[in-house]
Structure 1
């Protein structure tokens, strides 16, 4: 378990043409309120844009909000790009409308826990904090 001497840094992103960002903004605010430093990329990001921003910002976690149904395309592509860039100690998590069987497939590919609508923001913040303390090297 690692002691962190700085705020946890999280990149929150909306990938693709999904224009519904209220949930992402709520999560970003809640994570900030829990003591994390949050970078919100805004709408219509590509997986490449997300991973490049995460590298530039030296984040501990990437959170993807996805309601479009493209989760089985978006998450595997982001994981692939993260592996290509050596980002093995960065958490990829997210949430939205994702069927349970798809969540299990994504977990098997290396995606972290995914959250459905109605999950409390404190549960999400607690998961990120716990994961970062266990996996990040400072």
Structure 2
């Protein structure tokens, strides 16, 4: 992916009690290579920390990762907190193993629907590549 400044910024991290970081590192590198300013918060990040970072860097999007299967619980109320903080229009993405693995295999449309009802703009399966997420965000921001 070629490096070029796109004048857009993102906040990336792993939400809740989830301690995985490899996906976040991959996303961080991919988004930096795509020209984004990136605030990578690491793992075990509370909702409010995502919001504070988004305000601090004037982020265009927040990308929440969850691999331990509790994403539905960890992300509940997140859009509302963003709105309360003045981030009504921020793009919210979530990805990874966002629900219990058996639930994902059996019922992906329902999982996706539940996250969309919670206010997430996009919900990505664990098999989605970082490059696909960066391309999608550029399209959603009208800079593709």
Question: TM-score scaled by structure 2?
Answer: 0.82
Distance in 1 (alpha carbons) for counterparts of 2:40 and 2:26: 11
Is 1:81 the counterpart of 2:90? The answer is: no
Name which structure has the greater RCO, CA cutoff 8 Å, separation 6+: 1
Question: TM-score scaled by structure 1?
Answer: 0.85
Is 1:103 the counterpart of 2:112? The answer is: yes
Distance in 2 (alpha carbons) for counterparts of 1:19 and 1:106: 21
Q: Runs of 4+ in structure 1 displaced over 6 angstroms?
A: none
Contact conserved, 1:24 with 1:65, CA < 8 A, in 2? yes
How far the C-alpha of 1:79 sits from its partner, in A, is 1.0
Residues 16 and 75 (structure 1 numbering): CA distance in 2 closer, same or farther, change over 3 Å?
closer
**Hey, what does 1:45 align to over in structure 2?**
45
CA RMSD of aligned residues (A): 1.7
1:130 corresponds, among 127, 133, 139, to: 139
Deviations for 1:16-54, whole angstroms, at most 9, x for unmatched residues? 221111011101111111111111011221111111111
Q: How many residues align?
A: 130
How far the C-alpha of 1:8 sits from its partner, in A, is 1.3
Distance in 2 (alpha carbons) for counterparts of 1:126 and 1:120: 10
Contact conserved, 1:94 with 1:115, CA < 8 A, in 2? yes
